[in-house]
Chains A and B, each alone.
Chain A
Amino acid sequence: MKIKKIIIPIVVIIIAYVYCVLPANSQQLTIQSSIDKNTLSLDDQLTLRVVVSGSVSNVPKPAIPELKGFTSYSSGRSQNVSIVNGKVSSSVTFTYVLVPQSEGKHIIPAVTVNFKGQTYSTSPIEVEVLASSSKQAPAKTAPSKSYPQTVRQARGNIFVTTGVDKKKVYVNEQIQLTFSFFQSVRLLNQPQYSPADTTGFWTEDLPPQRNYKSRIEGRDYQVVEIKTALFPTSSGKHTIGKANLKCAVEEVSGRRDDFFKGFFSRGKNIALESKPINITVLPLPDEGKPAGFKGAVGQFGISAKVDKTELKTGEAVTLTVDISGSGNVKAISEPVLGNLDNFKRYETVSSFNLSKKDYRVQGSKSYTIVLSPLVSGKLTIPAIRFSYFDPKKKSYRTVKTSPIGLNVKQGERETTSSVVITQEGIKYLTKDILHLKTKRELKDHGNLVYKNNAFVGFHVIPPVVFLGLLLYRRRVEKLSRDVGYARRTRASGMVRKRLKKARELLDTDKTKEFYSALSEGLTKFIGDKLNVPAVGMTMAQIEEILKKEKVEESIIEDVRNVMSRSDFARFAPAELDKGQLKSDYGLSEKIIMKLQKII
């Protein structure tokens, strides 16, 4: 007993925890589907219940897959919301009535529901449809027989109509198709509604189903209105087909008061159908079509936001672009993003949120783009443009966001650089000129050496010097090799020296020495010039040599005169006066000058 007392609360707490707290924390949904019977006959019907429950207040509507072999229609929903400890949990039961179309084994596929990016689904259910029992056979055949009749009759107490809000629309512009079911008699079963054929249109249910009472021609009708939004996918003439409704009605007859008959009778099966509707779909004009136009029609706005504006390189920023408005929101394609070269861009995730308020398809589609800046500095996410066609104004419009500035600081360089290098090599983002040179000291570099005249002129010197040296070298060489040449070249210099000595003696009254120097000078000069030994050379020898050199007779005469007077002076120096000495000196100079020219 004691143990039980303890265990029971624990179990209760665990169960409560599992059922309430856990789902509440994780905001999970559960979805279950069930049917009321697994076997049924062709003229029977089946109820499919889909229970979606979870810890959220807004339970999404499940998507009913295409049911092969059944006609389905929604027969409402019931909601149950409970709030425990501030946590909301709700369960919604969606009920669908399924009417079999053919016999055999059918599978009700998995019903799915999308919630916060996750898909929940039920398991498929198998159903066996049997042929109608013999008892029900007449009822089955009845509709085909009474077809034309009932339609006519439907004008009376039961009929269906379809209508559209406009017959001339642009591609992708919403058309509101209204199916109305008027009844003034009691229905004996759930009507089987097969919607109109809407090939060429994108359809979107427009709940809720409207039920109201209407009075037409003095008769009260119960009206059920089902609205559908249609978006033509291409231009041209399109037809919305007939919508059918099958139902069994109470036989209106004189025996109406027969309670049991009315109660037990299956009544009369009738098929109702609406008239087809022709729709003219206009193409979107080419004129003024913006470059980024991707087919959106309606009225839209765009907004963009980022989760942060201050970040480091390598970190991620989430850019959320919202496009909201009325129109076929689901079909909106991604807006054009500008140049995002400075960012690494990750996959774009889109989600949409539909609302069908006032029977207009509207809502928003949001794109979440994760960007990671590659460089630091002030970066800009450029304006994002979205173009659409406004059917009311019959013109294209482009909306755009304002650019978003980001302040990016340099993140950890090591990681970013290693990522850049190992994964993609060096990535060139923008190429531009290199930056300024900002060295402090400026110098005039325009002085070119070769433009300096002094510099160019200088180059004359080395060859000239070299030439001088060359000539000097030649001369030295010749003097050392050729005695005659050496004597000859030195002769003038020697004779000048001797004459100078004689000149000095001229002033000192030394007549003897004067003539001696003069005769020596002359003799040696001639000897050097003609490369003959001068010592002991007599006048006769001198004469002979000069004659051989073809010296003029007058010069030889002069030489002879000077020489004879020198000889005379050696023995009687006093006989000669100063005048004679001077004239002899002058004569000697003249002889030497003349001889230099000749020999």
Chain B
Amino acid sequence: MKRIILILGILLISGSAPASADVASLFGQANACYEKGNCADAIRSYEEIIENGVRDPAVYYNLGNAYYKNNQLGRAVLAYKRALRLSSRDADIKNNLEYVLSFIKEERPKSPIEKLLDRLFNIVSLNALTLFVHYTYILLFIILAVYLFVKRKPLFWINVSLGIMLLLSGAWLYGRIYSREIIKKAVVIVTQGQVRNGPGEDYSVAFTVPEGKELVIIERRNPWYEIGVKEKGIRGWIRREEIEQI
């Protein structure tokens, strides 16, 4: 049993496999294009790397930079947010995202407390948190099993604390997964997204959203998506092409 856990753990930690040499050279080319100021080519190469299934935060980060330099704010925000999903603690990504978001007037900058909470929430990577919960879970059952046969007081307290730990970390993990998987977020990628009162051109435009704004997808009814603006508590329908899911 212990051996199984060990093997599983090793397997999971080494889950990020190195990419092929092709992708590495493509990355080098893209960076060179960017530095020469040829952002369009750089964007194409970065996108190609991503299409090859390599999801590296550095690629998304550089892609965001290229989009920003190419004056595509919305796509830049999208790329940075995707990079943050892969590496939630990267200060460079946060810095650039914040800088690009400063161009969106409606985007209220986060307060220091919000930033701190955000930082604490994302202080460990999702995989590390998952493994922590995983090992706590296994350890809890092992100690419980031992306790069945060796009724010692310390073991009981170890079990109680392990249980509390598992409960808290499990809730945290659930929150992380929920905010990532259950809430579908999207970014406006056109200069001004038009949000209508219903799914169709016949409905009047209720409000517009600036490029780069983050929205929550509530419902999909192709080609219309019902979206909500969290902090304003407003919702409406937008054409699918005007946004892109993170």
Contact = CB atoms under 8 A, between A and B. Distances in A.
B217 interface: no
A4 interface: no
A434 interface: yes
Nearest to B80: A433
Given A433-B99, A444-B53, A449 B24 contact: no
A436 B59 contact: no
Given A433-B99, A442-B27, A447-B16, A470 B148 contact: yes
B137 A459 contact: yes
A465 B58 contact: no
A447 B12 CA distance: 9
A448 B127 contact: yes
A466 B141 contact: yes
B74 interface: no
B35 A434 contact: no
Interface stretch (B61-69, B182-190, B201-209, B220-228): B61-69
B65 A449 contact: no
B126 interface: yes
Interface string A408-437: 000000000000000000000001111111
B145 interface: yes
B128 to A, nearest CB: 9
B95 A444 contact: no
A441 B18 contact: yes
Given A441-B24, A448-B126, A465-B1, A436 B62 contact: yes
B23 A449 contact: no
B8 A444 contact: no
Interface in A437-459: 437-450, 452, 455, 458-459
Interface in B108-154: 126-127, 130-131, 134, 137-138, 141-142, 144-145, 148-149
A417 B142 CA distance: 60
A440 B25 CA distance: 9
A86 interface: no
Nearest to B131: A449
A13 B61 CA distance: 81
Given A449-B15, A470-B148, A433 B141 contact: no
B46 to A, nearest CB: 10
Contact of A434 (B24, B53, B95, B131): B95
Interface in A462-483: 462-463, 465-466, 469-470, 473
A465 B53 contact: no
A455 B15 CA distance: 12
B104 interface: no
Contacts of B216: none
Given A436-B65, A462-B141, A466-B144, A445 B27 contact: no
A442 B31 CA distance: 13
Contacts of A442: 18-19, 23-24, 27, 49, 54, 56, 58-59
B65 A455 contact: no
Interface residues of A, number: 31
A437 B92 contact: yes
B87 interface: yes
A462 B138 contact: yes
B218 interface: no
Contacts of B18: 441-443
A447 B24 contact: no
Contacts of A446: 53, 55, 86
A444 B62 contact: no
A449 B58 contact: no
Given A442-B54, A443-B56, A452 B87 contact: no
A444 B52 CA distance: 10
B237 interface: no
B100 interface: yes
B54 A444 contact: yes
Contact of A449 (B35, B62, B127): B127
Contacts of A458: 8
Contact of B31 (A436, A445, A448, A473): A436
A269 B42 CA distance: 94
A439 B134 CA distance: 31
Given A442-B19, A442-B54, A443-B19, A436 B35 contact: yes
Nearest to A458: B8
A445 B86 contact: yes
Given A431-B99, A470-B148, A445 B130 contact: no
Given A433-B96, A433-B99, A437-B58, A447 B15 contact: yes
A448 to B, nearest CB: 6
Contacts of A459: 134, 137
A462 B95 CA distance: 43
A470 to B, nearest CB: 6
B177 A450 contact: yes
B130 A449 contact: yes
Contacts of A463: 141
B17 interface: yes
B68 A433 contact: yes
Contacts of A435: 65
Given A434-B92, A438-B31, A455-B8, A445 B137 contact: no
Interface in B70-94: 86-87, 92
B141 A465 contact: yes
B24 A440 contact: yes
Contacts of B1: 465
A120 B244 CA distance: 76
Contacts of B130: 448-450
A476 to B, nearest CB: 9
Contacts of B58: 437, 439, 442
Contacts of A455: 8, 12, 134
Contacts of B144: 466
A433 B96 CA distance: 5
A444 B55 contact: yes
B221 to A, nearest CB: 27
A465 B145 contact: yes
Contacts of A444: 16-17, 19, 53-56
Query: Which among A442, A450, A459 has the greatest number of chain B C-beta atoms within 10 A?
Result: A442
A458 B145 CA distance: 17
Contacts of B53: 444, 446
Interface string A359-389: 0000000000000000000000000000000
Contact of B96 (A434, A439, A466, A470): A434
A434 B98 CA distance: 11
Contacts of A437: 58, 61-62, 92
A280 B104 CA distance: 54
Contact of A443 (B16, B61, B92, B99): B16
A436 B141 contact: no
Query: Which among B15, B18, B49, B62 has the greatest number of chain A C-beta atoms within 10 A?
Result: B15
A278 to B, nearest CB: 58
Closest 4 CB pairs between A and B?
Answer: A446-B55, A462-B141, A437-B58, A447-B15
Given A444-B56, A445-B57, 19 more contacts: A432-B99, A433-B68, A433-B96, A434-B96, A436-B35, A440-B24, A441-B19, A442-B19, A442-B58, A443-B56, A444-B16, A444-B53, A446-B55, A449-B12, A449-B15, A459-B134, A459-B137, A465-B1, A466-B145
29 contacts: A431-B99, A432-B99, A433-B95, A433-B99, A433-B100, A434-B92, A434-B95, A435-B65, A437-B61, A440-B24, A441-B19, A444-B55, A445-B16, A445-B55, A446-B55, A447-B15, A447-B16, A449-B126, A449-B131, A449-B134, A450-B173, A452-B12, A458-B8, A459-B137, A462-B138, A462-B141, A465-B141, A466-B144, A470-B148
